[in-house]
Structure 1
């Protein structure tokens, strides 16, 4: 109990010192305390470097409490932006988890959730993958942890093409669950950075599509969802081609993604099945 009191006192003293200094250096300053995971004092410099920007933010982390004092310019940045940078540096926090790839590169003294055992299977199978094309293909297929999410999106697209409102609602429910289940640490670095910027919008858009009643409302909800999924797919490593298509007629212009070549318009279905064109091919 006494140890906890001493730790709390030390944190409060650190907060006071940080706030006093940073307030004089940062305009429009706002102060808060955030939780950031790290194993030892040796992680301190890495965490603080990631969360500190000249004249924008200052982060002071305490290893004993796993808490950090944050002062930031509320007109130019945000707590969310700081926590994203800390996660990308390899440290889980109250807002975001670090990419597994980045965690593996941390010094052993900073492994706050144990040794990165996930590295071993990659090393063990590297020679097999080089010599066996089917093994490389299997590895590529599993490259993105977002693959189930993409499959659900493509199923929604197909149901809209068929004007099948019931299936759209069912697949939108699956998508909504998959979005909530995504493990940030399993994403590659590029996906991870995009995911942090779109995950809130994606969850709202999936929920909106799930609750949309008629096929017309479903199609209206599908348009912004497609824009968000496009950003993610561009950051993913997929073993197949994805076609980014454009319909000039629907509400002044709308886009969608398909894993099949050729135009099948989800916004009009059989009324104007081939209306549109492919703007970009992603892989």
Structure 2
């Protein structure tokens, strides 16, 4: 009987010891897993930082392109057309972002050369006014965005009259919005940015710009 008790006691101690070791190993494995998870998060964060840096590099390239001369006015037109499309789609949030993009591309217009003194003065006034309206678009609800887009469209049209353009553009006109409002497009197809889905095909081709 005494031997049985002794044997049972040894077995119990061995079981407790094994249980304690097993818990420690599990805890260690869990800590390692958490450590690896943290490293993964760090790698993900680093990846995001790298992505942001690559975007910054792209912006730098874009700025260099803008400073090359006539290319900067084409970048303005590209951002303008993207903004127009966002308004056609009734997308207020996207129009805000594109309005901010347009502020940047307008600011990159190089008027230091290739233009006469009179043209430089005119372009400076046009760009200052266009930047103001693009800024409002980046902060406003869609109804106000469309109000500012009307004046912005006139500014961009006036800019093109001086800088010229590499593409054929069309000045389209909506007789219904605010007593009549124009906008620029690369297509003759009417997609109205002032009314969007409410009156998408309201308008007509006013003139061709080459």
Cα displacement string for residues 91-135 of structure 1 (whole angstroms, at most 9, x for unaligned residues): xxxxxxxxxxxxxxxxxxxxxxxxxxxxxxxxxxxxxxxxxxxxx
Q: Distance in 2 between matches of 1:203 and 1:196?
A: 11
Alpha-carbon distance, 1:152 to partner:
0.4
Greater length-normalized contact order (CA 8 Å, ≥ 6 residues apart): 2
| Residues 245, 255 of structure 1: 8 Å contact kept | yes
Summarize the alignment of residues 50-69 of structure 1 with structure 2, pairs less than 5 Å apart. Answer: none
Q: 2:77 aligns with which of 127, 132, 150?
A: 150
Match of 1:251 in 2: 178
1:240 paired to 2:167: yes
Alpha-carbon distance, 1:145 to partner:
2.8
Match of 1:192 in 2: 120
Cα displacement string for residues 189-225 of structure 1 (whole angstroms, at most 9, x for unaligned residues): 485353133122122111111111x211111111111
Change (3 A) 1:151 1:187: farther
| Residues 74, 166 of structure 2: 8 Å contact kept | no
Alpha-carbon distance, 1:143 to partner:
3.8
Alpha-carbon distance, 1:187 to partner:
4.8
TM-score (norm 2): 0.62
Q: Which consecutive aligned stretches of 4+ in structure 1 deviate over 4 angstroms post-superposition?
A: none
| Residues 194, 231 of structure 1: 8 Å contact kept | no
Change (3 A) 1:270 1:165: same
Match of 2:137 in 1: 209
Q: Distance in 1 between matches of 2:92 and 2:110?
A: 30
TM-score (norm 1): 0.47
Q: Distance in 1 between matches of 2:209 and 2:198?
A: 27
Cα displacement string for residues 121-177 of structure 1 (whole angstroms, at most 9, x for unaligned residues): xxxxxxxxxxxxxxxxxxxxx744311111100100011111111111111001111
Match of 2:97 in 1: 170
Change (3 A) 1:151 1:268: same
* Range moving further from structure 2, 167-176 or 142-151: 142-151
Equivalent residue pairs, number: 142
1:218 paired to 2:109: no
Q: Larger Cα Rg: Structure 1 or Structure 2?
A: 2
Q: Which has the higher helix share?
A: 2
Structure 1 SS opposite 2:154: helix
Change (3 A) 1:269 1:200: same
Q: Which has the higher strand share?
A: 1
